[in-house]
C-alpha cells in the first residue's frame, strides 16, 4: 500500500512575518500612548505616520522618553548621538524595523 501525497500550497514566509510586524507595531503604539499619555488610542496611530511635526507631533523630549522605554523593553542601545536617529524614529514602522533587526529580547 502506498501513501498518496497531497500537494500543499507553499507556505508564504511573509505571512508570519507580516503578522509579527503588525503585532510589534501595535505593541509600540500602546507604548507610545502609555509612556506619553497620548489622548488618542493606539489603534488610531498609523504605523507610517511621521512621529515628528505634522504626524504624531512628538518633540525631542517625547522621543527620548520612547527611546528609554524601548531600550529597556527590547534590549536595544538607542543613543542620542546616533546619526541614524532621524531614520529610526521617522515613523512607528521604521522604529519597529529597527527593533526587529537589533533587539536582544
Task: Examine the pLDDT at 15 and tell me if it is beyond 60.
Answer: no
Residue 84 lies inside a defined structural domain of this protein = yes
Rg (CA), the chain: 18
Long-range CB pairs of 75-82, under 8 A, 24+ apart, other chains included: 75/103, 75/104, 75/105, 76/102, 76/103, 76/104
Residue 11 lies inside a defined structural domain of this protein = no
| pLDDT score recorded for residue 2 | 54
pTM for the model? 0.79
Task: Examine the pLDDT at 13 and tell me if it is beyond 50.
Answer: no
Residue 94 lies inside a defined structural domain of this protein = yes
Q: Pick the residue with more confidence: 79 or 88?
A: 88
Q: Which of 86, 83, 82, 77 is nearest to 105 (CA)?
A: 77
Residue 92 lies inside a defined structural domain of this protein = yes
> What is d(CA 43, CA 41) in angstroms, rounded to the nearest whole number?
5
For all residues of the chain together, what is the average pLDDT? 86
* Size of the chain, expressed as the number of residues it contains: 105
In total, how many domains does the chain have? 1
What CATH number does the domain containing 25 carry? 1.10.1200.10
> Residue 23's domain spans which residues?
18-38+46-102
Amino acid at each position: 500500500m502506498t501513501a498518496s501525497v497531497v500537494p500543499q500550497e507553499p507556505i508564504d514566509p511573509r505571512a508570519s512575518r507580516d503578522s509579527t510586524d503588525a503585532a510589534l507595531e501595535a505593541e509600540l503604539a500602546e507604548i507610545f500612548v502609555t509612556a506619553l499619555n497620548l489622548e488618542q488610542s493606539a489603534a488610531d496611530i498609523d504605523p507610517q505616520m511621521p512621529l515628528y511635526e505634522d504626524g504624531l507631533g512628538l518633540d525631542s523630549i517625547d522621543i527620548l522618553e520612547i527611546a528609554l522605554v524601548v531600550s529597556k523593553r527590547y534590549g536595544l542601545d538607542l543613543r542620542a548621538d546616533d546619526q541614524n536617529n532621524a531614520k529610526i524614529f521617522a515613523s512607528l514602522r521604521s522604529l519597529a524595523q529597527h527593533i526587529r533587526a537589533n533587539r536582544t529580547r
